[in-house]
Amino acid sequence: MQINVVNHPLLQAKMTILRDKDTKSVTFRHIISEVAALLTFETTRDLPVEEVKVTTPLCETTGCRIKGSVTVVPILRAGLGFMEGVLSVIPEANVGHIGMSRNEETLLPMEYYCKLPADMDAYTIVVDPMLATGGSAIAAIDQLKKRGMKNLRFMCLVAAPEGVEKLNAAHPDVPIYTVVLDDHLNEHGYIVPGLGDAGDRIFGTV
Ligand code: URA
């Protein structure tokens, strides 16, 4: 199983607050943004840079700037909960959106919305807090690749082993970054111990 679990004390402590069933939406939303910002540091560790000259008040030296552009693609709806945090550390990123829903006849995930930035060569981070069965992540990445996107990575909060294995098998070129790798999926497709329905907890719906 190929997965990057970002095991940092700040992330793990915030994750505990997110797991707590008594954490209210207002706190949940705030903490998930902080977690997304911290996780973005690790997910972008291999971001390409180019050398530039910079003049300090004392002398000229070399520094760097990000080479090319960065695109973030939240999978609707829960992926939106990551956006404030990701954009707080990469404010220049372009944002694409992809909406996946379950076809009630075939039970397969299908795309209902997709709007992407023009730069298909961008360094792209696909975000969704929960990697459960892997169905929507795989289908979303299928669609992004079909439209020509390359250089993709997937960032989540909680991953289930079942989803990681499926995503690894379907898209071995897409690294996965998560805060925690949980135990299993229950019979309703919820991650255990998990944190419940991430979209409902972010948006205060039931
Ligand atoms: N989606 C969620 O929001 N939570 C889960 O546990 C599984 C899928």
**180-196 per-position pLDDT tens digit:** 999 999 999 999 999 99
| Ligand 1 mutation target, pool 187, 197, 206, most atoms within 8 A of CB | 197
Per-residue pLDDT at 138 = 97
Please, which pLDDT band fits residue 206 given cuts at 50, 70 and 90? Answer: confident
Number of Cβ within a 10 Å radius of residue 147: 12
d(CA 102, CA 125): 23
Q: Which residues of 162-186 are buried (b: 16+ CB within 10 A; e: fewer)?
A: bbbebbbeebeebbbbbbbbbeebe
Distance (angstroms) between ligand 1 centre and the Cα of 66 equals 34
* CA-nearest residue, atom 5 of ligand 1: 190
Please, which pLDDT band fits residue 46 given cuts at 50, 70 and 90? Answer: very high
Mean pLDDT taken over the chain: 96
Paired tokens of 124: 């792209």
Does residue 28 register a pLDDT over 90? yes
Does residue 197 have an active-site annotation? yes
Mean pLDDT of 6-24: 97
CB 198 near ligand 1, within 6 Å: yes
Residue 94 Ramachandran class (φ > 0 left, ψ -120 to 50 alpha, else beta): beta
The answer to whether 18 is a known ligand-binding residue is no
Give the pLDDT confidence of 121-167 residue by residue, as tens digits. 999 999 999 999 999 999 999 999 999 999 999 999 999 999 999 99
Q: Which amino acid is at 26?
A: V
Per-residue pLDDT at 202 = 97
The answer to whether 81 is a known ligand-binding residue is no
Which phi and psi (to 5°) does residue 42 adopt?
-75, -40
CATH fold group of domain 4-203: Rossmann fold (3.40.50)
Q: Which residues contact 119 (CB under 8 A, 6 or more apart)?
A: 68, 69, 71, 94
* CA-nearest residue, atom 4 of ligand 1: 197
Per-residue pLDDT at 102 = 80
> Nearest CA to 93 among 102, 101, 83, 103?
83
The answer to whether 140 is a known ligand-binding residue is no
Query: What does the longest C-alpha to C-alpha distance in the chain come to?
Result: 68
Does residue 102 have an active-site annotation? yes
Does residue 22 have an active-site annotation? no
Distance (angstroms) between ligand 1 centre and the Cα of 200 equals 10
Per-residue pLDDT at 185 = 97
Active-site residue identified among 27, 119, 142, 197:
197
d(CA 112, CA 137): 14
Does residue 107 register a pLDDT over 80? no
Per-residue pLDDT at 11 = 97
Active-site residue identified among 16, 20, 102, 147:
102
The ipTM assigned to this model is 0.96
Does residue 37 register a pLDDT over 80? yes
Paired tokens of 73: 């693609």
Per-residue pLDDT at 105 = 81
The answer to whether 178 is a known ligand-binding residue is no
Domain ranges in the chain are 4-203
CB 137 near ligand 1, within 6 Å: no
Per-residue pLDDT at 156 = 98
